Every structure is written in C-alpha cells, then in structure tokens.
Amino acid sequence: MTNPRITLIGLGLTGGSLGLALMQSGSALELVGHDKEPTVAQEARKRNAVHRVEWNLYKACEGASMIVLAIPLSEVGATLELLREDISPTTMVLVLNGVFGPVLKLLSETLPNHANAVVAHPILNGVGGELTPRADLFQKAIFCLAPGPATNPEALQLASDFAESAGAQPLYVDPDEHDGITAAVDALPRLLGAALFHMAASSPGWAEAQRIAGVAFARTTQPDRSAQGLYAELTANRSNVLQRLDQLTAELAAWRQWLATDAPDDDAHPLRVALSTVETARLNWEGHALTHTWDASPTPSAQEENTGMLRQLFFGGLFGGGKKSGDADKR
C-alpha cells in the first residue's frame, strides 16, 4: 500500500517549516512540494522538507490526498481556480492564511460543492529568534482552524489531526473574531512598520538619517511580506484594520500627551508609568509565547461523535484514528 500523498504548494517559511515538521514526525507520508520560485523549491528539497518537488502544479497535485496552500493571499484565488476541476471528493484542501473571511469566500465561490476545504492560520514559533524554515516552528504552535458554513465536520477534524501530526496545537476560532484579532496583532504591526519607514525615508534628513538608523529601526520596519502580498492582506481585512488603526491613533495621542507632560521626573510621571506597565505586560506575554502556557481552548461540539469516514478515505486514520476533537485540548 502506497503512503498517502500530501502536496505542499508554497515552500517558503510556513510551507518549508511544515514540511520539515511532517518529515520529522515519523508519519508514513509522501510529501510533494511545489513553488513558483525554482530556487525556493530547490532549497526546500535540499533541507529535506519534501521527498520530491514538481515544477508543474497539476503534476504536483496529481493523486494527492491533501493539498496544502501556503501561499500569499494574493495568489490563493488564482491557484484555486487552476485546481478546481481536479479536486475530487476524497481530496482535502487546507489553505494556510492569516485572514479567514476572504479565503472562506474564495473557497465557496471557486471550489466545487463536493470539495472538502478548511482554512487554517498557524502561529509560528518566532518570538525572540530569527525566522527561517525549521521544524520546531510548529512545535506546540497554535494552529487556528475555522470552518466555513459548508465545511464537513470530518474535514475539520482531519485538519486538527494534521496539525497535531506536525506538533502544533489546534485551536478552533470564529472566522470574524479571528480576523478582528489578527488585524491588531498581525496586520497593524506590518502597516506601522511600512508607515514608519515611509515617514523616515521621505523626510528631508533621510540622506544622513539612513546612515545612523540601526537595529531598532531595522527590526521595527523589516518586512516579511512583499508589497503586493501586504496590500492584499490589508485590503481584504480593511474594516478590521481601520478599526484597529483608529484605536491606535487614539492611543498614540495619549502617549504624545504623556511625553509632553512637564511633570517631575519621578516614578509617578505618566510616561514612566505607561512604559513600566508595557514592559511588564510584554515580558509576561513573551514568557507565555516561549513556553506555550496558554489556557485550554474550546472545540466545536459538532465534532464529538464523528465516526472518521473522511479520515478513512484520506489517510485511514493516520492523523489520530478515532480520537475525538476534544482531545486536542487535553495537553
């Protein structure tokens, strides 16, 4: 019996790290990789993130039990359109993206009714370190999962089992709530980095300032998206990002007032108090992020009594057998 085939489309940071995690998990899988950039695909193969790479998209997906899209939002729609005729009822489609609502809409508009598709957002382990493709980026990482209106409960359970096989922790979330949260903690920091760089680079003193700009400026403004990719994510989640931007504008106004306050330079100065509060809260958050000590998450009640039919069709229960979804949170 041949091993189930998983096709990873996109072999960058997320796709490459996922491949490495699966390869090191010991699961009996055949991993096929595809990336539109030949050098990225070649590097993934050299790192042993996949068993083989295919330059042709259709050939890469041929015979796949699961197709994982780890590509920018701006490329998801066109890729789904190319594959829609070749997705069978026994093929699972998993789209990894930081914005759920627009992707769920693309899935419903593009894929045939029989398609089993789930959207996921892996929160890679990257706090306090460099982000390069590594298997441990998925170890105990939060793996957000959101079902669409027509998502088969078994497909969602399969996605949960898949996440666990890569070492991650499944977390079921509401798509709208997820997109509201990520607007603040994912999209807004990237927008602020771009805005800060634009402000500095367009100022009259940039010719000299660029020679002095150091680590703080580089870290704050370092992009991890192309301009096209970031534009697509910001505009797809526009209403949530605008709401968070308005909140930040009000917050910055308060910080400006604290900085302008001519008060005694002591522990009671509002700016010192604010900075101390942030310092404590930031260290607390970083500690939780590094040790993965989060509260247990709820799981959909609809998952509790599933018999595993799709899992048998896809992988014969490879990613967890008859385990109930509630077990994902007992760790």
Per domain, the residue ranges of the chain are: 5-173+295-329, 177-260
Q: Is 322 helix (H, G, I), strand (E, B) or coil?
A: coil
Q: Which residue has the tokens 């929160």?
A: 123
Query: Regarding predicted confidence, which is higher, 226 or 326?
Result: 226
Tokens of 111: 């894929």
Q: Mean per-residue pLDDT for 271-291?
A: 91
Q: Distance between CA atoms of 61 and 64, rounded to whole angstroms? A: 5
pLDDT at res. 300: 44
Question: Residue 193: pLDDT above 50?
Answer: yes
pLDDT (average), residues 149-154: 78
Report the C-alpha gap between 308 and 153 in whole angstroms.
10
- pLDDT score for 290: 84
Averaged pLDDT, 120-145 = 86
Indicate whether 273 pLDDT > 50.
Answer: yes
pLDDT value at 60 more than 90: yes
**Beta-carbon count within 10 A of 283 CB:** 10
pLDDT of residue 322 exceeding 50: no
Helices (H), the chain: 13-25, 38-46, 57-61, 73-83, 101-110, 153-165, 175-182, 188-201, 206-212, 215-221, 227-236, 238-260, 270-291, 309-314
Report, as an integer, the average pLDDT of 83-104: 92
pLDDT at 149: 66
**pTM of the predicted model over 0.75:** yes
Contact 175, 135 (CB under 8 A): no
Q: What is the pLDDT of residue 97?
A: 95
Q: 223 or 170: whose pLDDT is higher?
A: 170
23-32, 194-203, 312-321: which has the minimum mean pLDDT? 312-321
The listed range with the strongest mean pLDDT (136-150, 274-288, 309-323) is: 274-288
- Write down the pLDDT at residue 315: 53
Cβ(65)–Cβ(6) below 8 Å: yes
- Is 260 strand, coil or helix? helix
Residue 61 has pLDDT above 90, yes or no: yes
Tokens of 210: 């660029």
Q: Which amino acid is at 290?
A: L
Of 137, 141, 15, 32, give the one whose Cα is nearest residue 72. 15
Q: Return the CATH class of domain 5-173+295-329.
A: alpha beta
**Residue owning tokens 């018999």:** 307
**What letter would DSSP give residue 147?**
-
Checking if the pLDDT of 302 tops 60, the result is no
| Domain 177-260 class in CATH | mainly alpha
What value does the mean pLDDT take over residues 77-90?
91
Q: Which of 57-61, 152-156, 231-235, 262-266 has the lowest mean pLDDT?
A: 262-266
- What's the whole-number mean pLDDT along residues 188-192? 94
Q: Which of 39-43, 215-219, 286-290, 327-331 has the lowest mean pLDDT?
A: 327-331
Is 55 strand, coil or helix?
coil
167, 20 in Cβ contact below 8 A? Answer: no
